[in-house]
Amino acid sequence: MGDGTTGERTRLRVRDAVAEDWPLIWPFWHEIVAAGDTYAWDPRADEATARSLWMAPGSRVFVVEDPEATGAPDRIVASASVRPNYGGPARTVANAGFMVSPAHAGRGIGRLLATHVLDEARRDGYTAMVFNAVVETNPALRLWQSLGFTVLGTVPAAFDHPRHGPVGLHILHRFL
């Protein structure tokens, strides 16, 4: 398939990640962050740093698994990491990061993962989700807005985009 049809999405499985999934997440995590155009993390982050950011204590990490993929690195096609954005009395506001392997982009995997994560965050007791730094040129912005996120504000020229130069970082919010 490969066209984002219902058949393809039904064979995909979203599940909680286990430690053994990290070696399958790392290649696309590295590819996405090294591109320097969507995440406000150091594009030169090494694997240990990346793992500590994505699989941090207190985070709940999800993966999208394609059981029909032929190679082990292709078996995990996306991941999300969810954690409290704040502590104490504000701990019910979640923050999350989402990554879809570029080799599997454009097939509805991001939407599948996002809807799953939003449902799970609600079940986990979160009342809202906030994204602190969505690059204003990020194509995923359309997905987030279609899922009910609103732009609360923009930090102008806060992100040095490799092609567009200084661009804004949006702060997004959605009640769960």
Predicted model pTM: 0.90
Mean per-residue pLDDT, 82-103: 96
Distance of CA 148 to CAs 87, 100, 135, 151, Å?
24, 20, 17, 10
Tokens 């701990």 locate to 91
**Structural domain boundaries of the chain?**
6-127
Domain covering 6-127 in this structure, CATH number: 3.40.630.30
Closest CA to 139 of 56, 57, 54, 32: 32
pLDDT digits (tens, 9 = 90+) for 19-71: 999 999 999 999 999 999 999 999 999 999 999 999 999 999 999 998 876 56
Contact 22, 51 (CB under 8 A): yes
3-class secondary-structure state, position 76? strand
Check whether 106 has a pLDDT greater than 70: yes
What percentage of residues in the chain have a pLDDT greater than 70?
91
